[in-house]
Chain A
Amino acid sequence: MENDLKLEILDILEDNAKTTAEEMSLMLNVPAATIEKTVKELEDEKAIIKYSALVNRDVVDEDGDAEALIEVEITPQRDYGYDDMAKRIYRFEEVRAVYLMAGTYDLCVRIKSRSMKDISKFVFEKLSVIDGVTKTVTVFIMRKYKEQGVILVGDETDERLVVTP
């Protein structure tokens, strides 16, 4: 029951982090005080990590940052496994995300930097020189169509008639 409420709250906040406790109280039929308490718990146990906005920078800054996905092949060393390799990579400021993959390469690293040149430089100077990194393939992101389940190009509007039976 308590877990159900937590999941409901996570669902709502994941969709709109600005939803107030008062609004959630009306949506879930639970007192606002209980909502506030549960949100606090979720924050404490890091189920809610932070409140951020999903932004589309291109709207205001066409020459914004460059982003790339880098496929990284690694050879884990004795006593120095994937997790440790990942740690050496994800600690870099430029690295936005790191995933361990099943497939033809090992780590998928998402990099964000001011320009493609900066990213190349990062790969040459920081990434490929790490002991255990055997190969990197850098693919640049050219345009984002959909991010976190949300279509960014906005092609679907409400086409419904204003009144229907």
Chain B
Amino acid sequence: MRNFIAKTVEDMPPSGIRKFFDIASEMKDIISLSVGEPDFVTPWNVREAAIASIERGYTHYTSNHGNPALRKLIARYLRERYDVDYDWKTQTIVTVGASEALDLAFRSVIEPGDEILVPAPSYVSYMPGVTFAGGVAVPIETKECDNFTVTPEALKAAVTPKTKAIILPYPNNPTGAIMTQEQLAAIVPVIEAHDLFVISDEIYSELTYGERHRSIASFPEIYPRTVVINGFSKAFAMTGFRLGYAAGPEDMIAAMVKLHQYFMLCAPTASQHAGEEALRHEMDTDFTQVGKMVSDYNRRRTFVYNAFKKMGLSCFEPRGAFYVFPNISGMGMTSEEFCHKLINEKHVACVPGTAFGAAGEGFMRCSYASSMDNLKEALKRIAEFVDECRK
């Protein structure tokens, strides 16, 4: 019998996260700082809206684009919150998580051999997503000394005649970096000069500390060449609802809808109703729930960051998402060895930076989406471990 598995799929290594999951899930009594989702349970009003929609019998397909009521709210939200204006009818699509939106964007943009720039380290799906769509993922290494941002120099150096688009994943998983208005402004002319498309993954946009998130789409010259991807998982603690969306130029959204209508049809109907409640409630209450969540995260962020500084580790101060990305390169082992030893000896699970690309070597990702009690205990154990490594 032939091998029926497509070579592109067979050749793709499984996610580094997956590998670590297999190790961590076999151990008991571990404190996990490896979780990439909020520790808050979905607010009850949102869960209740999903239940009510099922009770009322809203259990059919929705429009391929997504429910009009939800899309209107999304457009309003993007306008009021991030100053980007989209026509809900023609410029928005509701997807099965931001992940599907990414996949749709990749497949809508990429032709065989196109190069797509991917800042690294970053989320595990970009590189495989680009590859599966037939493109070539070209990493742009972002550095601790540049606050893990994409600099115009690094961008220029990575562009070739084959470059078609750049993924802009800020606030960033795993580094916690954000790109400020000024930092974005610096790369805007480069993007324009090389006629690049931008896939802006803004899933962590609500989770920034100290300053509000800026979308690159708010630059008028970049707006027509950008698709903004966002979703409900992180801001509204709705990971299991699998609800995301994209907003962008009409032709790009139309292309994405085409792919989506053939293979996904629509995002889960109950989730769309839940999403409606989440957005409406937050907009009506001036983002109280989100604000509370953010100030809670902010305390944990500061706590974890300071704890790493106290250990004498170099640590970039994260400004977004819920990750801290300390530099562990001075510990005399690779990130993977360090994280394995840490989990074996101290029962604390952190993800090796290399799970997010080779550029993550020398770092580890610690999620602070965990209770203060867990964080205190975990950081105490990490401090002990670092001490022992230094002996």
Please give the residue numbers on chain A whose beta carbons come within 8 Å of chain B beta carbons, in ascending order. Answer: 8, 11-12, 16, 19, 23, 26-29, 156, 158, 160-165
Contact = CB atoms under 8 A, between A and B. Distances in A.
Contacts, number: 61
A165 B25 contact: no
Interface of A is mostly: loop
B20 interface: yes
B306 interface: yes
Interface stretch (B34-42, B60-68, B191-199): B34-42
Given A16-B372, A26-B307, A162 B302 contact: no
7 contacts: A11-B295, A27-B302, A27-B303, A28-B302, A29-B302, A163-B21, A165-B15
A165 B98 CA distance: 13
Interface of B: 15, 17, 20-21, 24-25, 30, 32, 34-37, 39, 41, 123-125, 173, 295, 299-300, 302-303, 306-307, 310, 349, 351, 372, 376
Contacts of A16: 372
A5 B20 CA distance: 39
Among A16, A28, A164, the most chain B Cβ lie within 10 Å of the Cβ of A164
Contacts of B372: 16, 19, 27
Given A16-B372, A23-B376, A156-B41, A162 B32 contact: yes
Nearest to A19: B372
Contact of A12 (B39, B299, B376): B299
A27 B25 contact: no
A164 B35 contact: yes
Nearest to B367: A164
A12 B295 CA distance: 11
B22 to A, nearest CB: 9
A162 B41 contact: no
B306 A162 contact: no
Given A23-B376, A29-B306, A156-B41, A163 B24 contact: yes
Nearest to A18: B373
A26 B375 CA distance: 12
Contact of A164 (B17, B303, B376): B17
Contact of A26 (B41, B173, B302): B302
A8 B41 CA distance: 23
Given A12-B299, A16-B372, A156-B41, A163 B306 contact: no
A162 B20 CA distance: 10
Nearest to A20: B376
